[in-house]
Structure formats: structure tokens, C-alpha cells
A and B are shown apart, each in its own frame.
Chain A
Amino acid sequence: MTTGDADVLIIGGGMAAAWAAIAAAEAGARVMVVDKGAMGSSGGTACGGPGHWWVAPDPGLRRDAIARQTAKAEGLGDPAWMERILDLTWRHLPTIAPWYPFGSDGAGGRYVQGVRGPEYMRALRGFAVARGVTIRDHHPATELIADRDGRVIGARGIGLRDEQPWEVRAGAVVLATGGAAFRSGLIGSHACTGDGHLMAVEAGARLSGMEFSISYSLSPAWASTRTLPYTGARFYDAAGNELDIAPPRTGHRHYQSLGAAMLAGPVMADLVDAPRDLPGVLRRIQPLTVAAFERRGIDLFRDRFPVLLFGESTIRGTGGIDVRDDQCGTGVPGLYAAGDAATRELVAGASSGGGAVNSAWALSSGRIAGAAAAAEAARNGVNRDAATALGRAGLHPGDAVEAIDTGALIARAGHAIHDYDRAFWRSEANLAASADVLDADWRLIAGHGHATGRAAVELRSTAAVVATARWTVAAARERRESRGIHWRDDAREIDPVLATRLITDGLDQVRVRPLTPLRTKVAA
């Protein structure tokens, strides 16, 4: 086993991980990043183009923006957190300038709030390296380790190249492993299997808001791309009849009408109605999107092409590891959470965190968690005593080892979460059916799963997919109402009694409970 140590260990390699690493290093910590992929190309941001929630520090503008966002959060947001991430984003995003070629704002200044993903992640990697951060790419963490009191003191994992186990001791650990996308095919999400969620719950942390996970993006059927060209699309069935699809602004109805059409048969789209200025600039804005068409010989502004909805789950949804204090602590000593791995209900509530709030959160929570982890590491130092490995499912089976068909388990979890009929028409009946399938798969992998080398990483990722799917389904069952992006076909209205967050944890037995006691209904 190769070993190492650092003051702060960051698990993950996307934008939250990078900002956490930079902030921890600026606070004086020796920082190590261990990433399942490669920082720069890992995660949703590296294939996207994040806009950041961006409001000038004018008290009136900030107040209005926070009021609008609080309304959108449907009772679950926290204005103080919103104010904080607006401030941190405004102050820190411009600091990437030495590594990022900000373009023009068209008025003589720089355009800062929106950044192209590959260039942004390249910049953040350069920034982190310049701050002295050690980056170990292709080094997925598979489990946390703790001292006898349950304080997290590092992690173990497997190097993908040498297939050798490693252990890193650290004064504090930040989980920045991204949201869970259940291998939906969403570009950039392949490694986003909920690894951090599973490690957190094993360590004694809890999740919040996992039901706020119905989020999809439209793309050509052969590859998930970014969504810019498609917002004005017309849709057709296989016979060429135009479909009457509720427009994007209708939110869940848009998904339902597209989903219903796709369940009935192939759906084609064309972009003949696209904004007139789009064809001339799309290549300069999103060259990767253009390539997906150009390389198939399709003129995306003239031809009709098949489309699908790709699940974004808690990448664009808001659920994740519960944030228990103002330092992004998880409630477990030594363990912090940032970015899409953490709940974003504090700033997005029940709504989608897409459209800039999630990016502002990733930057801000990364910086907060990184700085807090550096401070805790300075207090505690690195513990080199005997450690307890906290991982279970897929690593340390409770029963006889059996071969596990990871592809089949991931496919079943994907069906439970992303199939259009289940996701767009959630109900007690279909959620209960999903839970039965997922519980059986959990028992299988937790009881019998074991592997070595790269196969162990995939097995552990599979355990995380199944676990995260179970928590998602359990939370969705418990929220018997429709609020924000969580929509129940058997409870289509908001229920004022449920204006609280739902907390989920548990491994063999999943538990869901309200954060605050439910207000009883007042008799009419």
C-alpha cells in the first residue's frame, strides 16, 4: 500500500474540489487532491459551461435577488446562505484571471460570470498547482478512515493505473465528489456515482433533500451535449407529425410531455425556429456541441434529429450530504462537504439549483469547506495511530463473496431513478416497486461484493449508485406532496405541513425524517 499525508485531503476533482483545494492552500495547509478522474476533465463542469449567480454588491440588488431566489426555493432556502454565496462568488471568481481568458462583456469590460467548462477547469487546476496543491489524478477514494472516536483522519483508495491500494492521512477531509447521476449518460457524469454520499453516511453523516432530483437535459439521442441550441426546438413523432410539447418554461409539464412522447416512440427535433443569431456564434460558444452533429454529417439548424432526455438527478437537482454548520461541516469531526456532493437546499431549496446557483454554491462551499478544513487540520494535526476503515458495501462483505454483475445493478438503479414513467409521475406505487428492487440489490452487494484493482473501484461505485438510489427513492416516498422539482402524481399540490427539509440516512435500514417537527394541520 502506498501512503501519504496532508493537512487537508480533498476527495474529488471538479470545481468544488478545486476551489476547496485553493482555499485550504491559501489558509496555509498542505493540500492533496485525490480524484477518480483527472482534475481538469472530471465532472459536470469540465464538459459544461457554468454560469454563476452573479449580483453586484449593491444592497438593493442583492436584496431583490435573494428575495426572488427565496421565493423560488419554496420554503426551504436560507437567505443568509444566499447572501454569503453571492459575496464569495463575486469576490473570488475574478481571481482565476491569470489562468482563464475572460472574454469581453461587449461594453468594454470583462465577462466574468459565465465560463466555458474545459477552460475553467484547466484554469482551476493551474490555480491550485500555483498554490502548491498536490494532485493525484486517477486515484479514486473508496473509503474513509477514522480514529477510535469516529473522527475522520484520512481515506483509502486504489490507484487506477497501478491498481494498488493507497492510504492518505489528513487533519481534515473534504468530500467534493459531485452529485449522483446514476450513469444516465449525461456528459461528464460517468464518475458521479454518489461515492461521497456513501462514504459520508458510513462515517455517520446524513443526507438532505434527495427527493429534489428530477432534472433532465435534452440532447441528441446519440450523445449528451450542452443544452443551448435546443430551447426553441420543435418536436415530431416518428411519422413526422408535430408534437404539442409544453414549452420549457412550464417546468415539470415540459418534462412530462416530452417523456410521454418518448415513451410512445422516438421523438425527433429540429431547430428551424432557433434564435436567428445562434447559428453564427454557436461554434464559438459551445464547440463540443457542434462537433456532436458535424461528425455525424448532420446540419443541426436544418435537419431533424432524434432526441432524448438525459438524467441530471442531483447534479442539477439539490439534494446531497447535509451541511450541519456554517463551515460546511457534516456533523462528523474532520469531515466537510462541498459542491454537488452537498445539499444545495440552503441556496436553492426545492427548486433546481441549475442556472447559476449551483455553480455559485460549488465555488463558495468549496472555499468555505477548504478554509474550515485547513483550520481544523491546524488544530488537530495528522493522526498516524491505528485507524478504522469505515467502508462496507462492495469492500468488506458481511457474507460469502459472490460475483456481482455491476452493469445489471447500475442499470436497475438507473431505471428506478431515470425512467420517464417513474420520474415524471412519481407515486407511492412506483416508488415502492423501485425500493423493493434496490433493497434486494443492496443486500446482494453489501452482503457479497468484493473485488480488487479497477474492478474494486467499479464495484464500490456500484454500491454507491445503489445506495444513493435507495436514499433518493426513500426521500421521494416520504415527501407526499409536489414541491419544487419533486412532483408526485398522487399528491399534486404543495402541502404546507411539509415545509421542512427531509433528512435521510441509514445503510441496511434507510431512515427518512423531517428536519423539524411537522406542524399539525389546523382544523378548518
Chain B
Amino acid sequence: MIAHLIAERCTNCGDCVAACPALVFDPGTLHPVIARVDACETCYHCELACTQDALFVAPETDSAAALPVAELIAAGLVGKIRRDSGWNDPADGGQLDDYRLLGPLLGAGVEIATLRYAARHA
């Protein structure tokens, strides 16, 4: 669930309000307001939309508990999803060059489980 809206970083652009599929945010005068936290699905799309890294989503779908903002920033976790995704990188940034490995790696995991089960039941 969305845990933090870091007011001093927020430019009140409204992109998180628009991006949230569950309408968790309401517009506000200085910054958006987390108005319906219980509706949050923990999808992280608001973080992707926030170019100012002013949002932090806690990882549990049923809890908004998170460390204080300063600790999260110090740990490099605020905005990390956006950076890991290359969300605002140029389109030729190559951020999806490893994506082709998804299918083969899924298959490799399935094969590992199959062989392990067969060995156990040999």
C-alpha cells in the first residue's frame, strides 16, 4: 500500500492522481492527498509516474507500514522502481534488452523442478 507522499519533493503535477487505477489520490492545493489508502492494490504505477520520486509504496498489499522517509532515501529505495525500469530513459536506452530471457528462464525453473521431483521419486 502507498505509505509516503513526500510533500517537499512533490510539484503537484497530478500524474499520480491520473495514473492510479484505484483513484487512491485526491488532488490537493499543495500536493495530492492519499484519500483512499484501502483501495491501493500495491501496483507501483504511481511510483513509475512520479518523476520527482516523491512517493513510496510499502510492499504488503494489506499494510501501509514503512520505514521513515529519511531511512528509505538513505537506503536508495525511493524511486528505485522507476530507475530499475528505465521508465523515463530514452526509448533506445536498452532497458528491455534482457526481456527476451524471461521465457527461457521460466522454462529453466520448470525443468529444474521436474528433474528434482524425478530424482526424489527414482
A residues contacting B by CB (< 8 A) are 36-38, 40-43, 46-47, 49, 51, 100-106, 111, 114-116, 118-119, 137-138, 160-161, 185, 187-188, 190-191, 222-224, 227-234, 244-249, 273-275, 277-278, 281, 283-288, 290-296
Contacts and interface: CB of A to CB of B under 8 A. Distances in A.
A111 B100 contact: yes
A49 B109 contact: no
A185 B116 contact: no
26 contacts: A37-B21, A41-B19, A41-B45, A47-B43, A103-B94, A103-B99, A105-B100, A114-B102, A116-B96, A137-B18, A138-B23, A160-B23, A187-B43, A231-B113, A232-B110, A247-B110, A248-B109, A248-B113, A275-B105, A277-B108, A278-B105, A278-B108, A281-B105, A283-B84, A285-B99, A287-B84
Contacts of A191: 21-22
A228 B106 contact: yes
Given A38-B19, A223-B59, A244-B120, 4 more contacts: A103-B100, A229-B109, A247-B114, A285-B99
Interface string B84-122: 111100011111111111110111111111101100100
A111 B94 CA distance: 11
B34 interface: no
Nearest to B86: A101
Interface of A is mostly: loop
Contacts of A40: 19, 45
Contacts of B100: 103-106, 111, 114
B65 to A, nearest CB: 11
Interface in B1-48: 18-23, 39, 41-45, 48
A291 B102 contact: no
Interface residues of B, number: 52
Contacts of B80: 287, 291, 294
A223 B60 contact: yes
A287 B81 contact: yes
B73 interface: no
A247 B93 CA distance: 38
Interface in B69-84: 77, 80-81, 84
Contact of A102 (B66, B96, B105): B96
Nearest to A35: B21
Contact of B58 (A41, A47, A103, A295): A295
A116 B87 CA distance: 11
Contacts of B60: 222-223, 296
A109 B21 CA distance: 34
Residue among B81, B91, B113 with the highest chain A CB neighbour number at 10 A: B113
Given A232-B112, A274-B109, A284 B59 contact: no
B52 interface: no
A291 B59 contact: yes
Nearest to B120: A244
A118 B114 contact: no
